[in-house]
Amino acid sequence: MSKSKTIYFDSNATTSVAPEVVQAMLPYLTENWGNPSSPYRLGKKLVGPIEAARESVAALIGADSAEVIFTSCGTESINTAITSCLYSQPTKRHIVTTAVEHSATKNCCAALEERGYEVTYLPVNRDGSLDLKLFEQSLRPETAVVSMMWANNETGVLFPIREIAAICRQRGILIHTDAVQVPGKLKLDVNELGVDLLSLSAHKLHGPKGVGLLYVRKGTPFRALIVGGHQEEGHRGGTENVPYMVAFGRAAELAHAVTVQSQRKLAALRDNLESEIFAKIPHTARNGAKEPRLPNTTSIAFAGVEAEALLMMLDQLNICASSGSACTTGSVAPSHVLTAMGLSPVEARSTIRFSLDYETSEEDVAYLMSHLPRVVAELRAAASPRVAARFRNSKLVAQAV
Amino acid sequence: MSKSKTIYFDSNATTSVAPEVVQAMLPYLTENWGNPSSPYRLGKKLVGPIEAARESVAALIGADSAEVIFTSCGTESINTAITSCLYSQPTKRHIVTTAVEHSATKNCCAALEERGYEVTYLPVNRDGSLDLKLFEQSLRPETAVVSMMWANNETGVLFPIREIAAICRQRGILIHTDAVQVPGKLKLDVNELGVDLLSLSAHKLHGPKGVGLLYVRKGTPFRALIVGGHQEEGHRGGTENVPYMVAFGRAAELAHAVTVQSQRKLAALRDNLESEIFAKIPHTARNGAKEPRLPNTTSIAFAGVEAEALLMMLDQLNICASSGSACTTGSVAPSHVLTAMGLSPVEARSTIRFSLDYETSEEDVAYLMSHLPRVVAELRAAASPRVAARFRNSKLVAQAV
């Protein structure tokens, strides 16, 4: 079925480290262990590989390598982007974001509110889309930054970042986008997009966990979040994590090589999974618009099912999926993304996200579908009459798919 | 001479990754690549290894594992410690530190000054020591944190952190120490020391570059610097870098196993190197007190020599040493540590730091000393009359060693 016998439908949470990526980084954990800032060859010889990696990640997003900062993760990139816009424009203390951001943005903004900054969280429609009129109305002279995800990690729904960036540019407001879910799945060109700052994370594209990227357009005011030595041209202190930088470079090359055909094939596989679910399992609904959406993601509410119980049963079948972001797993609250879209807590708690990858095969989908209808039916049958009644009264059941 | 034929006297800059450490982390880059926050076995099985690593790093410093936060580097730990003390006590906007801190503290404080915080940089004496009277006088009701390194990375000189912590405790002021250079070289026990926060970095103790530790004593108010998901109990967002956490755990075990005898042997080897230099090379002087000092570090001024030229010649002989912190290499300014100790810019620029390791052998020292006197003599002979005169007039030449 698969080498590890694990059928993985959770690529938005993380991806395996590609063997080519491990191979590329290994020498920098063994013989090439010097400090790149050192004045002798053992150190200096590492500057070339770092800059080559920087070229590769810059090429992935159509940036100049001088516009790319290596960080330790997507969360650091996002936190750096937002705080940099605030600290470099001290008279502007207002942030515009949305109600469906990843916790890296959401909780960073909440922490900044605690410190006296003001945040507007834009609502979304039932399909996860944004009201551009509302967005324009939210902008103020004191708005330091607009920070919005490009692709939602839970639903895959895309925001019109190009249009949003154009509006920001017109108003002289900095725009940052969390594009963590995008590489390899959509064409990514920072100049076409028009954003000032953009965040990525290597582990979503078969690189290791522990290295991120922050794109900062030339000329954008900047203040570092992690302040120390002269590393990353003073934009990010800390001795360089050479192995992971090299790894990210190799992973970026792999993601950059993905063709439009592959992306279409991925979307077709995902669409097929959706159709099968809707055909074979009653009382199910997609959360979020069908398009524009990432080609690999689907978020499905299974009325009458507790997602956590369903995930546990799937795990017993070696199928990995999730109820939303791994970064909020274990939280007692239902997904803030889904409730912002108007789902009730009960509906949100009945939702499973399936996120596919180029490694996902038709056989994987067939294996999932050979079990999913039965498992859902069993859980519904086992539900207490009280729970079942709650779900019967949910709007979801009445929804046409 | 050594396997790699590189004779390494720059362990304060970085250390090689121990083969045991690479072995320990490798499975987490290959088969065990899941996201530890995921709700299925592929992810959940990683929680155990992370917590075992946390136990190991906690044991190294005598802490409870619940008091230990994994970060991406020493610089992030230090930045987090200082900003956490400020953000959790918003009415206190004053920081006390010293003039000889690592750039992670120095530049973090400078950035905070730009944002309206007030910083006192305590001067040091000629031998690098602190005036405790001056320190006490610097403390104010609005002091949020005292941040001081325990062991200076350039000279090895130790600050009396235990005494300083006791004074802070008495005044109700939080105390953070940058102990990055300490593990394996001195006994490290956070309870004996009495600090509230303490920073470490794995790559100084044969772990990889890209993972650090922040100790936060139970009950200490805390605000995260990198805010995102619930990772690290909400103290540090970002998907866990499992391989490097495991690596740090293994490296901590190795450092923890270092015996007092080994430390004494290391000090004897360093003392021998110093004596040889003073005996065989005229016009040389140690920067900083002989004791209390790290057992592995010596900072030597070679009058009439440009350190950068000397390092280049040593590199040709496969000898690695540095003129100070790698984190400030390439800077045109002379070392802020040495000038704070009263050295002239010229004297500071004539300084080489030799930092030894348990891997350093008597043969390594003999090899260095078989070349160093000649190289220094050649450089002095080649110096332009103007440069030579400048050095002849320096106080350094007159100093008895």
ipTM of the complex: 0.95
Task: Specify the long-range contacts of residues B373-381, CB closer than 8 Å, at least 24 apart.
Answer: B373/B280, B373/B281, B375/B310, B375/B313, B375/B314, B375/B317, B376/B281, B376/B302, B376/B305, B376/B310, B377/B281, B378/B313, B379/B304, B379/B305, B379/B306, B379/B309, B379/B310, B379/B313, B380/B304, B380/B305
Do B238 and A74 lie within an 8 Å CB cutoff? Answer: yes
Query: In B, which residues are within 8 Å of A211 by CB distance?
Result: 210
Domain co-membership, A144 together with A194: yes
Domain of A243: which CATH number?
3.40.640.10
Tokens of residue A105, six digits: 């943005």
- State which of B256, B280, B308 marks the end of a domain: B256
Q: How far apart (Å, rounded) are the C-alpha atoms in residues B243 and B383?
A: 49
Q: Measured between CA atoms, how close is B268 to chain A, in angstroms? A: 26
Boundary residue ending a domain (A187, A222, A256): A256
Structurally, how many domains does chain A consist of? Answer: 2
Residues of A in contact with B329 (CB under 8 A): 37-39, 230
What is chain B's Cα-based Rg? Answer: 22
Residue B25: pLDDT above 70?
yes
Residue B296 belongs to a domain with what CATH number?
3.90.1150.10
- Residue A395's pLDDT is what? 56
| Higher per-residue pLDDT: B398 or A190 | A190
Report the relative pairing of strands B118-122 and B94-98 from DSSP bridges: parallel
**Nearest chain A alpha carbon to B327:** A229
> Residue A1 domain-assigned?
no
Domain residues for A166? 19-256
Of residues A357 and B330, the one with the higher pLDDT is A357
- B160: its two tokens: 């009396």
Give the phi and the psi of residue B285 in degrees, each rounded to 5: -150, 145
Is the CB of residue A187 less than 8 Å from the CB of residue A220?
A: no
Q: Is residue A316 part of a domain?
A: yes
Nearest to A237 among B6, B103, B315 (CB): B103
Residues A67 and A101 in one domain: yes
Give A182-225 pLDDT, tens digit per residue. Answer: 999 999 999 999 999 999 999 999 999 999 999 999 999 999 99
Q: Which residue has the higher pLDDT, B380 or A326?
A: B380
**For residues B24 and A312, what is the distance between their CA atoms, to the nearest angstrom?**
29
Within a domain: residue A98?
A: yes
Mean pLDDT for B257-278 is 97
Q: Residue B304: pLDDT band by 50, 70, 90 thresholds?
A: very high
Both B44 and B170 in one domain: the answer is yes
Of the candidates A256, A272, A288, which is a domain's last residue? A256
* Model pTM score: 0.95
Measured in angstroms, the CA of B240 and the nearest CA of chain A are apart by: 7
Question: Which pLDDT value is given to residue B3?
Answer: 43
Distance from CA of B124 to the nearest CA of A (A): 21
Pairing relationship of beta strands A297-302 and A284-286 according to DSSP bridges: antiparallel
Q: What φ, ψ does residue A252 adopt, rounded to 5°?
A: -65, -40
DSSP B282: S
| Residue B324 CB partners (closer than 8 Å, separation 6+) | B153, B154, B299, B335, B337, B338, B351, B353
B254 vs A85, A239, B15, B248, B268, CA distance in Å?
A: 42, 21, 13, 10, 21
- A231, A269: one domain: no
Q: Confirm whether B240 is domain-assigned.
A: yes
Three-class DSSP labels, chain A: CCCCCCEECECCCCCCCCHHHHHHHHHHCCCCCCCCCCCCHHHHCCHHHHHHHHHHHHHHHCCCHHHEEEECCHHHHHHHHHHHHHHCCCCCCEEEEECCCCHHHHHHHHHHHHCCCEEEEECECCCCCECHHHHHHHCCCCEEEEEEECECCCCCEECCHHHHHHHHHHHCCEEEEECCCCCCCCCCCHHHHCCCEEEEEHHHCCCCCCCEEEEECCCCCCCCCCCCCCHHHHCCCCCCCHHHHHHHHHHHHHHHCCCHHHHHHHHHHHHHHHHHHHHHCCCEEECCCCCCECCCEEEEEECCCCHHHHHHHHHHCCEECECCCHHHCCCCCCCHHHHHCCCCHHHHCCEEEEECCCCCCHHHHHHHHHHHHHHHHHHHHHCCHHHHHHHHCCHHHHCCC
List phi, psi (to 5°) of A37: -90, 0
Whether residue B301 is found in the same domain as residue B331: yes
Residue B243 pLDDT greater than 60, yes or no: yes
Residues B167 and B180 in one domain: yes
Helix (H) or strand (E) holding B380: helix B362-382
On average, the pLDDT of chain A sits at 94
Q: How far is CA A161 from CA A78, B49, B276, B331, in A?
A: 16, 40, 66, 40
What pLDDT sits at residue A136?
98
Q: Give chain B positions within 8 Å (CB) of A34.
A: 14, 320
pLDDT the model gives residue B123: 98
One domain for residues B93 and B202 = yes
- Within this chain, do residues A82 and A219 fall inside the same structural domain, yes or no? yes
- Chain A residues within 8 A of B333 when measuring between CB atoms: none
Of A185, A182, A186, which is closest to residue A199 (Cα–Cα)? A182
Contacts 24+ apart (CB under 8 A), B255-258: B255/B60, B255/B183, B255/B184, B255/B205, B255/B206, B256/B56, B256/B59, B256/B60, B256/B184, B258/B184, B258/B185, B258/B358
* Whether B327 is catalytic: yes
Instruction: Give the span between the Cα atoms of A204 and A207, in whole angstroms.
Output: 7
Question: Considering only CA atoms, which of A147, A155, A190, A209 is closest in space to residue A353?
Answer: A155
Are the beta carbons of A39 and B329 separated by less than 8 Å? yes
Task: Let me know: does A67 contact A58? Beta carbons within 8 Å.
Answer: yes
Q: What is the pLDDT, as a whole number, of residue B328?
A: 66
**pLDDT at residue A325, rounded to an integer:** 72
Report yes or no on B2 lying in a domain.
Answer: no
- Position A2 in a domain: no
Between vectors from CA B152 to CA A38 and to CA B161, what angle results, nearest 5°? 150
CB B60 within 8 A of CB B255: yes
pLDDT > 90 in chain A, percent: 92
> Average pLDDT, stretch B154-179?
98
Same domain, B61 and B201: yes
Contact A43 B326 (CB under 8 A): yes
Look at the block and give the residue holding tokens 């797993």: A329
Query: Which of B22, B315, B329 has its CB closest to that of A37?
Result: B329
| Residue A324 vs residues A17, A396, B45: alpha-carbon distances, Å | 22, 18, 19
Residue B48 tokens, joined: 């155990």
Co-location of B148 and B297 in the same domain = no
pLDDT at residue B324, rounded to an integer: 79
* Co-location of B238 and B266 in the same domain: no
Length of chain A: 401
Does the distance separating the beta carbons of A237 and B79 come in below 8 Å? yes
- Output the average pLDDT for chain B: 94
**In terms of domains, do B71 and B216 share one?**
yes
Nearest-neighbour CA in chain B from A246: distance (Å): 13
d(CA A79, CA A115): 14
What is the model's pLDDT at position B399?
Answer: 45
The beta strands (E) that lie in B295-372 are given as 297-302, 319-320, 351-355
Helices (H), B228-286: 242-256, 260-280
pLDDT at B124: 98
B54 in a structural domain: yes
pLDDT value of position A335: 95
Confidence of residue A400 (pLDDT cuts 50, 70, 90): very low
